[in-house]
Amino acid sequence: MKLHLLSLPLLFFFFFLTLSHGLNPKCSIPDRGSTLQVFHVFSPCSPFRPSKPVSWEENVLQMQAKDQARLQFLSSLVAGKSVVPIASGRQIIQSPTYIVRAKIGTPAQTMLMAMDTSNDAAWVPCTGCVGCGSTVFNTARSSSFKPVGCQAAQCKQVPNPTCGGTTCSFNLTYGSSTVAANLSQDNITLATDSIFRYTFGCIAKATGSSVPPQGLLGLGRGPLSLLSQTQNLYQSTFSYCLPSFKSVNFAGSLRLGPIGQPKRIKYTPLLKNPRRSSLYYVNLMAIRVGRKVVDIPPTAFAFNPTTGSGTIIDSGTVFTRLVTPAYIAVRDEFRKRVGRNLTVTTLGGFDTCYSVPIVAPTITLMFSGMNVTLPQDNLLIHSTAGSITCLAMAAAPDNVNSVLNVIANMQQQNHRFLFDVPNSRLGVAREPCS
C-alpha cells in the first residue's frame, strides 16, 4: 500500500470525541425490550477506543488493513477453503466495528460483543484463555454454566470438533486469527430477553489480532446461530441501524424479533448459498452514479453458489468493495461527475481523493426490487479540516480470488437493515440513528 503523504497533522474527526472521557450519559442507559444499543468501537461508550489520538491517515490505513484481512476471510469462506489470511505487518487496532451489550451467566456478567452478520456462532473469551484480553467470562462464577459434551448434537455443528476429555472443543479461523474453544452453554440475556442454555464457544486460546476482545455475536442464519437458537422468541427476524462514527450520540440499535420492525420499507430478496448458508447474499443488479447507470459487465454481479460469487451485506467490513470491473466503472463515472479538471490523489487503498472541496454525485445501489440511493455521508470520508475527501469504496483485493462484492458498514450507516429470514427478504430504509 502506498501512503500519499500529507503535510498537515490531520485528525480523523471521531478522535476528537475520544477526549470526552466517556462521560456521555447515553453509555449507561439500559437496553429495553428486545432492542440493544449498538456502539461504534470508537464511541465514548466503548472501552476499545484508542487511548491516544491516531492521525487520520494512520486510522484510514488501519481500517483498510483490517478490511483486507476480513475480505480475505470472507473470500476463503465462499471458496470453501480454510485459508489463514496473511496478517498485515501493521498493528491492527480492533477487529469488530460495532458492539452490543450481552449478559451471560448467573449472576450475569456483562460482555461487549461484536455484531457480525457473516458468522453463525457466538463465542466469548473465558477464564484461562491464552491470548485473550483482560475481560473474560468467568465460568466458575456462573452457577448455570455447563460445558457441552462430545456426544451432544451441537458438537456436530462446529468446525473441526475434537474431544478434550468429555468436552466438545473446536478450532476456527476468524479474519487473521485462529481460535480454539470449548463448546459451552449458559443463559444469555439480550436487552431484557433471557435465553436459557444458549450454546456458544468458550475461547481457550486465540492467536492474531482479529478476535473481538469481549467476544462475537454471530447474526448469521446457520445451525448454531442466535437466530436458530431463538426461533420461538425472534422468529429469525432482526434489524439494525448503525450509527455514523462522526455522530455525538453514538448509539444505533439492534432490534431482535418481528415486534416493532418498520412496516414501510423497501425489500429485495435474500439469496441462499447452500455452501455458505450463513452469508446474506442479495441480487445487486446495477449501480447508478448520479443519474447514469454505469456500464458494468453482468458477470461482475452474478450470483453463483458454486464459486461463491455475488454480493453480500456485511456488518463487519468498513468500506464497500466491488469486484474490479465494477469498481473501475463506478469510480470513473464518479470522477467525471466531480470534475475532470480536479487533481485526483490516493490515500492507502483509496484511489479517488481530492484536496479541494467537492460536490459529489449520489450513488444508487440497484438491487432487484429496490434502489438504495446513498447520500454523501455514506460515500465520502473527510479529514477533520475538510482538506482531504476520499470516495470510501475500493476494488476487491486482487491478491485473493475475488468474486465477492461486499456492501460494508460505512455504506449502511443511518439506514435500517431488516433481515426477514422467514420471508427471505432484506428491507432497507433511511433512518437517522446517529
Ligand X SMILES: *[C@@H]1O[C@H](CO)[C@@H](O)[C@H](O)[C@H]1NC(C)=O
Which residues of this chain interact with ligand X, rule CB under 6 A?
106, 108, 126, 128-129, 139, 144, 160, 162, 164-165, 167, 171, 180, 182, 187, 194, 196-197, 202, 204-205, 288, 293, 339, 341, 366, 369-371
- In whole angstroms, give the CA distance from residue 103 to residue 161: 26
Which CB, 163 or 302, lies closer to ligand X?
A: 163
DSSP conformation class of 158: S
- In whole angstroms, give the CA distance from residue 337 to residue 356: 15
Residue 314 is among the residues annotated as catalytic for this protein: yes
Partner residues linked to 189 by β-bridges: 103, 194
Query: What is the distance between the terminal CA atoms of the chain, rounded to a whole angstrom?
Result: 32
* Chain-centroid distance, C-alpha 34: 20
- In whole angstroms, give the CA distance from residue 345 to residue 389: 10
21 burial via Cβ count (<10 Å: 0-12, 13-18, 19+): exposed
> Which amino acid is residue 399, in one-letter code?
N
| Shortest CB 43 distance to ligand X, Å | 27
- In whole angstroms, give the CA distance from residue 185 to residue 189: 13
- In whole angstroms, give the CA distance from residue 185 to residue 120: 16
- In whole angstroms, give the CA distance from residue 328 to residue 289: 12
> In this structure, is the dihedral angle defined by the CA atoms of residues 7, 9, 13 and 15, taken in order, positive or negative?
positive
Q: What are phi and psi of 165, to 5 degrees?
A: 70, -115
Which CB, 55 or 362, lies closer to ligand X?
A: 362
Which CB, 136 or 251, lies closer to ligand X?
A: 136
For 163, the grid coordinates are 474431544
Which CB, 6 or 108, lies closer to ligand X?
A: 108
**Choosing from 31, 67, 120, 314, which is the catalytic residue?**
314
- Residue 124: how many CA atoms within 13 Å on its side-chain side? 28
| Shortest CB 129 distance to ligand X, Å | 5
Which CB, 255 or 288, lies closer to ligand X?
A: 288
Which CB, 204 or 358, lies closer to ligand X?
A: 204
For 338, the grid coordinates are 466531480
| Shortest CB 300 distance to ligand X, Å | 18
Residue 186 is among the residues annotated as catalytic for this protein: no
Catalytic residues: 116, 314
